[in-house]
Every structure is written in structure tokens, then in C-alpha cells.
Amino acid sequence: MRGPRFTDIVAALPPTVPFVGPEQMERDRGAPFVARLGANESVFGPSPLASRAMQAADAEIWKYGDSTSFDLRHALAEDLGIGADNIVLGAGIDGLLESTVRLMVGPGDQVVTSDGAYPTFNFHVAGHGGTLHRVPYRDDHEDTEALLAKARAVGAKLIYLANPDNPMGSWLSAAQVEAMIAALPAGCVLVLDEAYVEFAPEDSVPAFDVTDPAVLRFRTFSKAHGMAGARVGYAIGQADVIAAYEKVRNHFGMNRSAQAGALAALQDRAWLARVQRDVATARDRIAAIARDNGLRPLASATNFVAVDCGADGGFARRVLTGLLAQGVFVRMPFVAPEDRCIRISAGTPEMLDAFAAALPEALAVARRG
């Protein structure tokens, strides 16, 4: 037979897109959004130092990037107070999650996550033939006890946990995460996604223990540093575990400009502090808009706010559809009961003005059914 022979795993999978991008949504609706508040990007942009560094590096974009990300890796290590051999760089957290699953999950291997948590992780598990087990949230938080119990019951190789959480914006204390780490079953690794760590309370972030081979922590320049399009993420772990990524990672997956921009962003503390303030202001504004419309905002340690629409997922989806029709791009959780909410990213004052103007009409349309 002429043509490709897909693996049995791939041949059995349905076509899957974890997220439909806003650009595709704009093409489908035939008009741009007036407020882009759905992808948890930083609308406040990257540090000016990072922008200048990327522009300067563009002149040498004909060169491959440093396959070891030497300068950035060592700068991160110094910043975090750990060794450079405890860090691996990759094309965003998504790229590193794929490498992690590729390292540890084969056909039939068991993996545990929360039902409704970040779906791209699930996408990679399915693509490598793993068996995914989901446990429900508890009070809009990921349930560490349920995750551990399921992992013990099925002999899981990986547990995925995001702290702070996406899509709910909730967070666990450092003590809760540390207790979970101490209780991990033998042969199980915690995949700890800390994409929103720069917005989290200090007492939610565990101290680093890079001697523990059962914990991998993932961070990114996509959120607080405003570089989502550059695709810069890093994983932190025990040195031997990090070294194993050399067997499977895309060594040239990050371009020179992204490396230069991330290095400059890391050094611009003032810009990061400004973004953190702007996000806090935007979260307060989103919460106020929600309350003005009779809705309940959930407490958030991220750059977005989940807003309880006060009914079921069908109602929340009608609200979301009503906002999209007015050019306001937001998203929502996709599993009950969290899907009673819509999720609004921190935006500029102008974007949030558009959200405030559109929400009453979206709610009216949703209530008419």
C-alpha cells in the first residue's frame, strides 16, 4: 500500500486539538476580537530589555540556537539557587511535558491527573499510549489525597498537578504540596506545573529539593514574562533525571532570539514587578465587573479569574458564546462542576472595558436560553 503506516496508537486516536487558537476563531467569525482575554497570555508584553535583546539577536537568526541554552540555564540556576545540571530548557512547558511523557510513559502505563486540568498533558499521554485516570476537583481545588489514592490503586508512573491551578486559579499551600511529595508511591513522579508561580503567594511555593528524583517542576516565560510566542520553558529536577532528557528532547527547539529575550527578561526585575502589579489590578477589576453583574469571582493566584456564572455548564457556555459574538474572547473550564464558570485573563483597561460592556448583554441572551 502506498502511503504512511501510522503506529497502532496514533491510528486508534481521534483527531484532537487541545485548544482552538484565537486566530482560528477570528477566521471562523470573520472579524478580529476587540478583547483577547482567553489564552492567559500577558497582554502587558515582554520587558523592553527582552524586546531589544530579541531584535538584536534577529540579525543572527541564520544560526541555530545554542543547543544547551548555556547562558540562560546558568542564569536560571543562579537565580534559583540550584545547579545548572538541575535545569533543562525546552519549547515551553508543553514541549517539556511531551519529552517527560516520552521518557516515562509507554503503551499501557498508568498516569493520573485531575478531571478538567490542563488538557495538553493528557494529549501527550494519549499519543504515547498511556492510560489516563482522572479524579475530580474538590471545592475547585485539585485534590491531592484523591490523586495519591488513585496513583496507588493503579500503579501510576506520573501524577500531574498544577499549582496554581488552570483553569480555576486556585492554589494549594506549600505544606500541602510537600505532604503530597512525601506520600508519593514508589516509582511515581510528580509533574508539578508551576506556570503561574510568579503570581502565587509565597507560602504556596515549596522550597527546592533537587535531590529528590520523584519531583519535576515546570516553569515558563510565557506568563509573567510576556513571551508566550517565544516558547521558552524549563524543567527543574534531580540531576540524573534531568540528564535523561538529553535522550529525547529537541535540542534545537528554541531559537536564538527566544534564548536572548528570556535571558534579558530574567534580569529585568522591575518589569516583572510592574506586570505583577498590573495583573493584580486587572484581577480586581474583573472581580468587580463580575459582582456588578451578580456573578461570583473565585479567588485567583494566576493571571486570570474564574467567574462562577451561578448555573450549570450550559448556561456558562451561552454566556461565553454571547461574549464571543461581541468580540470578547474568553474561555471556560470543560468539566462539571467547574464548567459553571467562565475564565477571563488579566487585560488592559481598554480590554476590560470591552468585557464590562459586553457581559450584561451576554448574560441577558444566556438567560433567554
pLDDT tens, position by position, 151-193: 999 999 999 999 999 999 999 999 999 999 999 999 999 999 9
Boundary-marking domain end, from 267, 286, 305 = 267
Helix (H, G, I), strand (E, B) or coil at 154: helix
Helix (H, G, I), strand (E, B) or coil at 366: helix
Residue 7 inside a domain? The answer is: no
Nearest Cα neighbor of 191 from 116, 127, 105 is 105
Boundary-marking domain end, from 247, 267, 287 = 267
* Same domain (yes/no): 275, 180: no
Residue 6 inside a domain? The answer is: no
Angle at 26 between CA 45 and CA 340, to 5 degrees: 85
* Same domain (yes/no): 206, 341: no
For residue 107, the model assigns a pLDDT of: 96
* Same domain (yes/no): 212, 346: no
For residue 153, the model assigns a pLDDT of: 98
pLDDT digits (tens, 9 = 90+) for 348-359: 999 999 999 999
* Same domain (yes/no): 280, 217: no
Residue 343 inside a domain? The answer is: yes
* Same domain (yes/no): 137, 166: yes
Direct distance between the N- and C-terminal alpha carbons of the chain, in angstroms, rounded to an integer: 51
70: left (phi over 0), alpha (psi -120 to 50) or beta: alpha
For residue 54, the model assigns a pLDDT of: 97
pLDDT band at 116 (very low <50, low <70, confident <90, very high): very high
We report the CATH number of the domain holding residue 274 as 3.90.1150.10
Work out the burial of residue 364: count CB atoms within 10 Å of its CB; fewer than 13 is exposed, 13-18 middle, 19 or more buried. Answer: exposed
Number of domains in the chain: 2
pLDDT band at 69 (very low <50, low <70, confident <90, very high): very high
* Same domain (yes/no): 227, 277: no
We report the CATH number of the domain holding residue 57 as 3.40.640.10
For residue 307, the model assigns a pLDDT of: 98
CA separation for the pair 108, 32 (Å, rounded):
43
pLDDT band at 19 (very low <50, low <70, confident <90, very high): confident
* Domain that residue 308 falls in: 19-45+270-368
Q: How far is CA 29 from the centre of its chain?
A: 26
Boundary-marking domain end, from 267, 299, 322 = 267
